[in-house]
Amino acid sequence: TVKRRNHGRSKKGRGHVKFIRCDNCFQACPKDKAIKRFNVRNMIEAAAKRDMAEASVYESYDVPKVYYKLQHCVGCAIHGRIVRVRSRVNRRNRAPPPRFRQEFKKPTGAPAAVKASA
């Protein structure tokens, strides 16, 4: 009996995989076993963004984003609630969790008014 069909790794035919260091505790962990998340954040937080917009000369300025990849060992990923412990039945579920993305709604009133006047 095995707990996971991939033995907790995504190595398959490779004999050895390089180690990475956990971003939280600096523990050595195989790269294929590490829990990896890609993080995208604004370079400045929301409160400072409003202050910059008020002080800025430009009407609209897109604040650059910071892109970085987080790699955690299994212990830190569970402790930091990046992944959760699942029951034996739910462990077989390989589907990715649903994404909650903000959908920007386009203003619908403006184009109709332009078409009506033309």
Q: Is the pLDDT of residue 116 over 90?
A: no
Res 56: pLDDT: 87
Report the percent of the chain where pLDDT is more than 90.
58
Buried b (16+ CB within 10 A) or exposed e, 97-117: eeeeeeeeeeeeeeeeeeeee
Neighbours of 29 (CB within 10 A): 21
pLDDT category, 108, cuts 50, 70, 90? low
Q: Is the pLDDT of residue 114 over 70?
A: no
Higher pLDDT, 62 or 113: 62
CA distances from 14 to 9, 17, 21, 92 (A): 11, 7, 20, 23
- Residue 93 identity: N
Mean pLDDT, residues 65-80? 96
Q: Is the pLDDT of residue 87 over 90?
A: yes
pTM assigned to the model: 0.72
